[in-house]
Structure 1
């Protein structure tokens, strides 16, 4: 009997060894580093200098190829680069991989938000967001969006000779998400509270007093308390048929109606508001800042862009707002913005987790391993964009594959707020360039990570009102 058990044990051991050897031979090349720590410190050092691609990814690509293994934050991770890799992993969301964010990000964004959802729950929430951001919904939103930017410039930039461009863009995009998209009026201090939450999204998830994560959790609780009351007040108005007609189409109204119908919970409404605010306002404000940075360095491009906006202003009557037709005329401006975002993507990439063993490019990615795809893997690739480090808006005169140009992701988790971000960027640029002459205070201002990329000085610009070029813009 003992010899029989020993034989069975020997067979199991041999099978395990053979399977382990097969896996170790087929996984991508690379270094795993120390247990748990792996190459995390090198990753964080590169991230803190906003040089993740140059200092962390590129040297390993040169050594191992476009697919390599590493160990980040305690997880074996495969880093992939290139359009085909983006297509494979982003389009196979829910089938082969699922979204996988650090614990600190999940706790601060909320465990009930859409980035944590799969299947029917994901489709339900995404459908609500998509309906609030449809072409018809955005067209209805346009006058309010234009007015929000107009009022801000009239009140905050008046009589100023120097303003913080990045800060202005942050305040405006934050206000637009809350007031134009969600229909929530917020006090200025709420932005400061949100920023305290953001500080901890990539910090180690330790609740020790005084740590970034601890401060972020406290701020998150303040926001959650405020939003719960907003959601409950909205529910009272809807159930009492007291909701104002203009608020019926807001995203908050749509989510609360779904909550009343039992499709989503109150916590899902709160968590998704938090996520949407972060996803929209930080990335959009950075895109705006980088567009102005590139325009300041390429005066020929700025001349072409300015002419496009002058033509739009001259075609409008006094007091007329921008329309969707005007947005369609901003073709060159959008090329400039897209090229700026290509060179300075607001997000480096994102993590996925393999939910089964994955065979890709003759390699095996074991179940449970993380996968990190990167924007820079294609944005800076010579085979995708010739002379990739040069600023050439004309690249976007023709369509570019979504899996080559990926600042908004791709697949089922592609950014649902893409069109709102586009409107925000284009209307802000129009409002500034048609009203002001401007110049950067620090033309070569460095970009740092805090924890997302930001201009080191906040991108201050000198401004002076224009005199003649766009006479109707003050009444837009």
Structure 2
């Protein structure tokens, strides 16, 4: 009787362990191929090295060749599944089984209530609030303000110069446009302080999340806290005087007006701060990189350059001296915008994207367990020759009929319900900047080394120095 009781007790104790091991074995057989690697670190360092050596695309291709279109690994502290292709893009942008939980560096630095982190109703509410300002009918009123910022930039930093370094200047330009449109923050000491702290903040977005003194992650967290305090100060200033100004004068006023009206798109102060931070990062990086690489490409592509110049000169001839560009002028810049879309296809600012599973979910015949990270190389479809023939060739005419491109294959601004809310904003600042650039200056690249690396966004060698020649004064059309 004693032995029976002993073995019965032992069986009861071991049964849950046996069932757990059996379930784990079954699950492991359904997981995608590939090793998870060293816990916490996994393949993070390998990916970061490839990005900084500008071999990230090859890293993706080698992995896909070895393991197929879906595989598992560890990235930035989390077990992860890597996916790519048209079906993967649709899955990432539309699946209800995923949320937008970003890697720890991103969520820690940009805030847990930023738009990239949100899903479901929260995402719709915050996106809806942002779109009250970022929709075309509102942004039409801002074309003149962006025009003035662009003119001031070229007068201050390009006019009278023999050489300039493009990338820092384009970052300066896009940051100033954002300060004007998002905060109504005028030129001066406050803007200059803001940009320095902002640059420190974004440095750690793709880093090993070790919050230790002197690490990139630690410096970025401190800068993010200072940015939050500065935005909060602006919110308090705007709140105290918001009824005296146009609701759509800047984004913060627009969002505060929703609070005052008890609208369904009401945002808390923290959601406003986090939304501003993510828009700053997305807008600053995307537009400045797009402009930089357009300038880089046009220096060696006389055919596309001439077509853009011809289009922009026709618009310039229709303007009187000192007259600002209008929304109607932008609608005529069709070829220039097609060139911009092609540039985003070839050199996308966003390297890849992350999601997190809300439950056990199947994709491509494999199981992705609840809580795992999904890492999508969405831009790999940009290089797929079955979608874009001769994918290495720069051809703006690919976008003459965008309806001919299969859905979820071109993701320069996202896709589906996750398409970038700042799309029109980016289009306006890109077109206005290109107008004044090609009608006022000619340029050529300096030196022979005009390669670039990713850290995590593309950065040209030495910031892309160019020689410039002024062909018209900025004050006159």
Question: TM-score over 0.5 for the alignment?
Answer: yes
- Structure 1-normalised TM-score? 0.92
Counterpart position of 2:389: 386
Runs of 4+ aligned structure 1 residues displaced above 6 Å come to none
Answer yes or no: is the 8 Å Cα contact 2:60–2:377 preserved in 1.
no
Aligned pair partner of 2:88 in 77, 85, 90: 85
- The aligned residue for residue 443 of structure 2 is 438
| 360 and 209 in structure 1: CA distance in 2 versus 1, 3 angstrom threshold | closer
Aligned residues of 2:207 and 2:216 also touching (Cα < 8 A):
yes
Corresponding residue number in structure 2 for 1:290 = 293
Q: Any unmatched runs of 5+ in structure 1?
A: none
Unaligned ranges ≥5, structure 2: none
Q: Which SS does the other structure have where 2:356 is aligned?
A: strand
Contact 2:174-2:287 at 8 Å conserved across structures = yes
Between the aligned partners of 2:152 and 2:205, the Cα distance in structure 1 is 32
Moved more, 252-261 or 396-405: 252-261
User: How far apart, in 2, do the equivalents of 1:237 and 1:7 lie?
Assistant: 72
Indicate whether 1:124 and 2:128 are aligned.
no
- Superposed, 1:144-223 pairs within 5 Å as 144-185=145-186, 186-223=190-227
In the TM superposition, 1:64-463 aligns within 5 A as 64-92=67-95, 95-185=96-186, 186-238=190-242, 241=243, 243-245=244-246, 248-260=248-260, 263-399=266-402, 400-442=405-447, 444-463=449-468
Matched, 1:53 2:57: yes
Which piece of structure 1 moves more, 29-38 or 169-178? 29-38
Distance in 2 of aligned mates of 1:377 and 1:461: 30
Contact 1:132 1:249 in 2 (8 A): no
Question: d(CA) in 1 for partners of 2:158 and 2:227?
Answer: 29
Shift of 1:108: 1.3
Per the alignment, in what secondary structure is the counterpart of residue 464 of structure 1? strand
Q: Matches of 2:191 and 2:179 in 1, distance apart?
A: 11
For residues 199-228 of structure 1, the C-alpha deviation after alignment (integer angstroms, 9 at most, x for no partner) is 122223333222222222222232222221
1:18-60 deviation per Cα after TM superposition (whole angstroms, max 9, x unaligned): 4323222222211222233322221221122232221x21111
Task: State the secondary structure of the residue aligned to 1:434.
Answer: helix
Deviations 1:111-158 (A, max 9, x none): 232222333332222112111011111110011111110111122222
> Residues of 2 paired with 1:50 and 1:171: CA distance?
24
Give me the TM-score of the superposition, normalised by structure 2: 0.92
Q: What is the number of residues matched between the two proteins?
A: 465
- Kept in 1: contact 2:441–2:468 (CA 8 A): yes
Q: Name the CA distance, whole Å, in 1 between partners of 2:211 and 2:319.
A: 56
